[in-house]
Amino acid sequence: VVLAIVVWFVIFKTPFGLRLRSVGEHPHAADSLGINVNRMRYIAVGLSGFFGGIGGSVFALTVAQNFSHGTISGQGFMALAAVVFGKWHPLGALGAAAFFGIAQSLSVVGAGIPLLNEIPQIFLQIAPYLLTILALAGYIGRADAPKSLGTPFTKGSR
């Protein structure tokens, strides 16, 4: 939670965050202002990999309490869904991740809840993924990604 607030502050309240957002929205405009677009994009990819690794290690060491080849299976999809569901905003992604985490925790502790103990365990295990798909398909409305997401930047070309 603290890390999400720090990331929000850095992205929306610092010059570094403004540069980072500008290379995702309008890289040619950022380039015309003297911002090294490719360097900023490499920094963004490195930071996202770092935060993804932190999230994976926290999950493996605290929730699953082990690490094997299948420990994190399916979690990347849910993390990406949390970003889209949170409308590409750090605090929105935090709220979406909390929603998906609660749905996933029901599959673990559902047998101990009187209302849920009659539901077959397999339905509780697929519930987080089903809720993720339903949330992305029906609820989010319009979640606009950064305009230049996934497009390569070539200096001087438009």
Q: How high is the pLDDT of residue 9?
A: 95
Q: How high is the pLDDT of residue 156?
A: 72
Answer whether 148's CB lies under 8 Å from 25's CB.
Answer: yes
Q: How high is the pLDDT of residue 72?
A: 67
Q: Which two tokens stand for residue 136?
A: 């992305």
Determine the Cα–Cα distance for residues 27 and 25; give it in Å rounded to an integer. Answer: 6
Answer whether 1's CB lies under 8 Å from 94's CB.
Answer: yes
Residue 94 neighbours by CB under 8 Å, 6+ apart: 1, 4, 86
pLDDT in tens, the chain (158 residues): 898 899 999 999 999 999 999 998 899 999 999 999 999 999 999 998 898 888 878 777 876 667 666 666 667 777 777 888 788 888 988 988 888 888 877 777 777 777 777 788 788 888 877 877 787 776 656 667 777 877 888 787 66
Q: How high is the pLDDT of residue 136?
A: 72
Altogether, the residues listed in the chain come to a count of 158
HSE-up of residue 52 (Cα within 13 Å, Cβ side):
15
